[in-house]
Chains A and B, each alone.
Chain A
């Protein structure tokens, strides 16, 4: 290290002293650690730690939307939220939405990944097309779906009637029975691709030698999938379940645009409920309490999940 430094300064035209001191300063372990960690750390603090702490603090106060005054109310907000029978309902809706979405995305995403992992003509075109939905902003996906599902002019109703599958137009998002199912479907159209990307990356990391060895041992296609592909995907499926589960539980944008929580609240999941509490009822403190409860629940679930599955082991590649 030292010899490198002297060599480097020997070639430079600037006074050796200044550069030497600078290099020496930068070479110090603590300085280097601070400099490399600082950008990420400050971003983390500003984007995550501050809002979280702010929300938790807010949850103990009564806050009106029209005055900057915070009034300390202790656990009152929590008492109100937890005693509200609606809270249990929105929680179960969130779980329903998250579970449905994640399962659908996992099956679709893995299926697509397995398909485009095989080599065929125009494979690269197929890959590019498959990736497209993930590049479209969620809001645009939602508005497109809104138009396609429109009960009067929507193309989906049009096609289904023409195909003779239905007799009259259906108000997909206006029907309390269908609305939740539809938002799960629309949501999965875009986010399955996330699973595809993750699974495809893993699939391509599986050495072909494994499959060849299995073939030589007499393994059929199904046995190769069961004994090689699936075990190798375990780690990535684990991560996908966790990430998608948390993100879907917290999903707000696509639901809000498609249904706004309706009809008659059947798609009001926990995040929508928190939003409505804040901006329809102007109970910012109570909304913060809801968010804090959700945050706590997800933390517990994630911790249990990591404890049970030991991701460092599961994600291990070789």
Chain B
């Protein structure tokens, strides 16, 4: 059974395009995207609001009709199948439990529409409620329980449905930080248990990074990059992904390529020279305008490097680390340093960064050109080949 269902259960979004007609003309919400979701994969669509991620999910669900393109379940084209015939379960941001039904009937609803007897569907609902630890709420109405409990019930409802795929439209957005983490775990547990393709939509890169097998970063209706959380973090395809993934986000500094030699590349930044040793694919020539990207955790504020310096304007403590904001030669730079470092607001400190973790982007196109030559990625690359 597992063999046939697993291949039949992969999902393909094939050159999907969705336009909306507005009084101001046609708006392209999703522009010919292509994604394949494996039969047991947890894929997250992440991006800023208006990037088309929810529209993509709604097309997948059948709640929107694509302008062109196909949605395939296994080899079967389901694009023209209405939402109620697709057998995908969905979790919504606004929860959408029916206020006039008790929690137990809400959970059992997908079975009711299939004509399962009341007794049998209540048994299934109780089982699902046990997994979600909400058995004591079964006879209450949604209005009588908390937001987190409601979302647990909504998750239980999708489990009871035993669908071909799970679709989740920002299900955690309305919950507070602690509940978010809690329900996040529940969703992951369910995913590991039922092993069905799951498409999760969020604007929160942290959720995406912690939950997903793969992430598709969307922007302006298109996909910027698809990859594992590690790939997106370590090898961002362009400036957009680089600044979107990671919190606190990557620092950027404009530079110009001065010399290119076998030893490496030197880039002038704010009239100072930064020497870089880049990986083999680097394709740079003299005079290229680039953007250097480096993450806050690779910045150090106590070692003199190429001669940059700046004044600390803000210090935020995060657990055992400090996030320092430094205003100086490189503009506003953020650095995560040990909380024990004797730094104070107003201090003028040297700024240096680990050039082996640097990213070089094309300033015009935003495309990623090269990364710092670090042993670990080189090994990983070779392993992949």
Q: Give me the interface of A with B, judged by CB distance under 8 Å.
A: 207, 209-210, 212-220, 223, 227-228, 231-232, 234, 318
Contact = CB atoms under 8 A, between A and B. Distances in A.
A212 B82 contact: no
Contacts of B98: 210, 213, 227-228, 231
A224 to B, nearest CB: 8
Given A212-B83, A213-B92, 11 more contacts: A215-B63, A215-B84, A216-B84, A216-B90, A218-B85, A218-B161, A219-B109, A219-B113, A223-B113, A231-B100, A231-B101
Contacts of B100: 231-232, 234
A209 B82 contact: no
B99 A217 contact: no
A207 B95 CA distance: 11
24 contacts: A207-B94, A207-B96, A209-B96, A210-B96, A212-B90, A214-B84, A215-B63, A216-B63, A216-B83, A216-B84, A216-B88, A217-B89, A217-B110, A217-B113, A217-B161, A218-B85, A218-B87, A218-B114, A219-B109, A219-B113, A220-B84, A227-B98, A231-B98, A231-B100
A217 B109 CA distance: 7
| CB-based closest 10 A-B pairs | A213-B96, A217-B110, A215-B83, A209-B96, A216-B90, A231-B100, A219-B113, A215-B84, A218-B113, A218-B84
Contacts of A214: 84, 109, 113
Contact size class for B? 20 to 34
A1 to B, nearest CB: 32
Most buried by A among B62, B94, B98, B101: B98
Contacts of A209: 92, 94-96
Contacts of B92: 209, 212-213
A213 B161 contact: no
Nearest to B61: A216
A220 B99 contact: no
A33 to B, nearest CB: 31
A318 B143 CA distance: 7
B18 interface: no
A215 B96 CA distance: 12
A210 B84 CA distance: 13
Contacts of A217: 84, 89, 109-110, 113, 157, 161
Contacts of B99: 318
B112 interface: yes
Nearest to A230: B100
A177 B63 CA distance: 53
Nearest to B167: A216
Interface of B: 61-63, 82-85, 87-90, 92, 94-101, 109-110, 112-114, 143, 157, 161, 167
Given A209-B92, A212-B63, A212-B92, A227 B82 contact: no
A219 B157 CA distance: 14
A223 B82 CA distance: 15
Contacts of A210: 96, 98
A298 B95 CA distance: 43
Nearest to A232: B100
A216 B113 CA distance: 11
Contacts of B95: 209
A227 B115 CA distance: 13
Contacts of A219: 84, 109, 113
Contacts of A223: 113
A231 B25 CA distance: 39
A139 to B, nearest CB: 41
A219 B113 CA distance: 5
Contacts of B96: 207, 209-210, 212-213
A234 B110 CA distance: 23
B94 A220 contact: no
A264 B113 CA distance: 54
A223 B101 CA distance: 14
B62 A227 contact: no
Contacts of B161: 217-218
Contacts of B101: 227, 231
A212 B167 CA distance: 13
A267 B15 CA distance: 69
B87 to A, nearest CB: 6
Contacts of B61: 212, 216
Nearest to B89: A216
A218 to B, nearest CB: 5
A215 B64 CA distance: 12
A220 B112 CA distance: 11
A227 B112 contact: yes
B110 A218 contact: yes
Contacts of B83: 212, 215-216
Nearest to A223: B113
A236 to B, nearest CB: 13
Contacts of A216: 61, 63, 83-84, 88-90, 167
Most buried by B among A215, A216, A219: A216
Contact of A215 (B82, B112, B157): B82
Contacts of A227: 98, 101, 109, 112-113
Nearest to B163: A216
Contacts of B62: 215
B187 to A, nearest CB: 16
A239 B161 CA distance: 36
A215 B97 CA distance: 13
Nearest to B87: A218
A234 B85 CA distance: 28
B154 to A, nearest CB: 8
